[in-house]
């Protein structure tokens, strides 16, 4: 992942997590979110069954702050991001999530908050899961 032309985060095998927060989110949800990402059985075992977690395998996560996940395009032709948390609310929650994962033993790479980033991804599977807590 690059930001302003500089590589700021890179993992090998692991999970790439696009993370967005809304106005109602608070610090009480961070431990649950960290546990879910850490223990989510979404990685194939030797038999090709999604039965392993990042905790069982590489322990690597690439977390990308992504307010656009809360884009709402139900009306008109231009999305609104009114449901996305303001940066001053979201950034401390994002940092707390990173720290919660590190405390569980994760290797966490991130981008830079409030910058335009380019994310390269090889989606092995592909498997994409949306989690809302």
* pLDDT at 49 (0 to 100): 94
Q: Which fold has domain 14-118?
A: 3.50.80
SS3 for 28-42 is HHHHHHHHHHHHCCC
The residue extents of the domains of the chain are 14-118
Which residues are catalytically annotated?
66-68
What pLDDT, in 10s, does the model give residues 20-54? 999 999 999 999 999 999 999 999 999 999 999 99
Give the mean pLDDT per block of 10 residues along the chain (133 residues). 91 95 97 98 94 96 94 94 96 98 98 89 84 89
Quickly tell me which residue has 């030797």 as its tokens: 46
* pLDDT at 118 (0 to 100): 93
pTM: 0.93
């Amino acid at each position: 992942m690059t930001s302003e032309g500089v590589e700021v985060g890179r993992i090998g095998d692991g999970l790439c997590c696009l993370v967005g927060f809304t106005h109602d989110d608070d610090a009480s949800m961070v431990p649950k979110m960290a546990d879910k990402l850490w223990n989510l059985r979404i990685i194939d075992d030797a038999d090709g069954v999604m039965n392993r977690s990042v905790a069982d395998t590489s322990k690597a996560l690439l977390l990308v702050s992504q307010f656009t996940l809360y884009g709402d395009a139900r009306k008109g032709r231009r999305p609104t991001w009114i449901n996305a948390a303001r940066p001053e609310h979201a950034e401390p929650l994002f940092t707390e999530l990173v720290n919660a994962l590190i405390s569980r033993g994760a290797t966490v790479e991130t981008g830079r908050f409030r910058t335009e980033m380019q994310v390269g991804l090889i989606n092995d599977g592909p498997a994409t899961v949306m989690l809302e807590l």
